[in-house]
Amino acid sequence: MKSVLVTADDFGFTKSVTEGILKAHDEGIVTHTGLMVNMPDAPRAVELAKSRPSLSVGLHFNLTQGKPVSNPELVPSLIRENGEFRGLSLWHPRRANPRDIETELRAQIEKFLSFGFEKIHIDGHHYVTFIPNVLKTVIKLSKEYPITSTRMIDPGMIKKGVKRKIIGFSILCLGPKFVFGLGRYIKFWLKKLEEAGLVHPDALVSWELFGESDCEASLLKSLATLNEGVTEIFGHPGLVDEELLKTSTYTDIRERELTAFTSARVKNAIMQSDTKLINAFCLGGRL
C-alpha cells in the first residue's frame, strides 16, 4: 500500500502563511501542517484548524525564527542580544547548549499541548530536528510527553538529492563530521528512533531539496515514483503580505508552491493512482 503524508510547514508564522496553508488543505492535497507555537499567528491558526478535522497539526519546533517561548535568560546560547533566536548558520543551532535546547523544546511542547492537542507529531523549522543534539532531546522528552511520531531523513534522499544541496544539508546536521557520511548518520538515528518507539514515514521528499525549479512537475514526478509504505512530501505553501516580507526571505516561492499543491493535475494524479492521502493522526501507531 502506498500512502502519502503531505505537509505544509510554518503554520502560524504570519496570517498570510496560515491562510495559504489552509487553502492548500481546503482546495489541495495538504493533509498535515506544523505549527510554530512561538509566532504571532499561532493561536488564530489553531482555532481555524480545529474546524478542519481532516487536517492534523503537529509541532514545528523552531530555534531560528522569532523569539523563544521560554524565558530568554534561560536559553542564552539560542538568542541574540535583542532576545530573538539566532538565525540558521553553520554553527547555530548545531552548537547551541543542549540544556538550552531542552529548555526551549519543553516550553514549545507545553504551549502546543495548551492549545488542546493530545498527541505530538514533531518536525523542525529549518530542519533543526535532524541535528544530533536536537534529536537526542526529542527522544529524551518522548518519555515524558506524548510525542508519538516525527519526520526523519531516509537513505533514499541521498540518491535522489542534488549533490551540492545534500552536502550542504550534511554540514548543517553534522558540521565537520559530515565527511563520515550522511548515510551512516541516518541509519544510526533511525535505529535510535525505533528503540524509543517513535514512528516516522518510510521516505521523505522535498522538491526544493532536490533542486527542482518547477514545483508542480516535481510533485507529479514524486507521486509517480512512490514506493510502498508511507512517504512524506513537505513544502511551504502560503500567501504573501507585508508582514511576511518584513520577516522572511522565503516569500514569492510560497505562492508558487501553493499553486502546485492545489493544482488540478496534481489532484488528478492522486485520484488516478493507488495512493492514499493520510494525515499525521495515522502515524501515532502503525504506519
Q: What is the pLDDT of residues 26-63, one digit of tens each?
A: 999 999 999 999 999 999 999 999 999 999 999 999 99
* Of the candidates 114, 89, 86, the residue with the CA atom closest to the CA atom of residue 101: 86
Res 24 pLDDT > 50:
yes
Between CA 6 and CA 105 the distance in angstroms is: 24
- Cβ neighbours around 75 below 10 Å, total: 22
* Amino acid letter, residue 87: G
Q: What does the block give as the cell for 27?
A: 482546495
Q: Distance between the two ends of the chain, CA-based, in angstroms?
A: 10
How many residues are there in the chain?
A: 287
- CATH code of residue 208: 3.20.20.370
3-state secondary structure 261-274: HCCHHHHHHHHCCC
* Amino acid letter, residue 101: I
The pLDDT assigned to 251 comes to 84
Between CA 10 and CA 7 the distance in angstroms is: 10
User: Total domain count for the chain?
Assistant: 1
pLDDT in tens, 148-189: 999 988 877 666 655 556 666 677 777 766 656 777 888 889
User: Is 13 within 8 Å of 245 (Cβ atoms)?
Assistant: no
Owning domain of residue 159: 2-283
